[in-house]
Amino acid sequence: MDLQGMVPPDPETEVSRECFAVVRVGRGRRKRFAAACVQECATAEVARAQARGQGSLAAARLVGPSKSSEGQFIYYLVEWLQGDG
């Protein structure tokens, strides 16, 4: 997985932490998402439940938010969460 440009997680701050989330996905599968497309969830199970049956939503484990060179806050995909947990 290529996470070039990602700010690595910092255990002492809230910058680029790992989280579970529901991601609004368009066509194709990207590896980075604008913060506006991401809804953080407390657990992987919550993310899966919120995405279940929603064609444009997918559960994922992400790292972020990180500020891009364009000044936008983005999240990087670590993995897509599949199944019911």
> Token pair for residue 4?
């070039």
In the beta sheet, which residues pair with residue 41?
A: 20
Given a cut of 70, whether residue 23 has pLDDT beyond it is: yes
In the beta sheet, which residues pair with residue 73?
A: 67
**CA distances (Å), origin 84, targets 20, 50, 63, 78:** 14, 11, 22, 18
pLDDT, residue 37, reads: 95
Confidence of residue 1 (pLDDT cuts 50, 70, 90): very low
Confidence of residue 33 (pLDDT cuts 50, 70, 90): very high
Domain ranges of the chain: 17-80
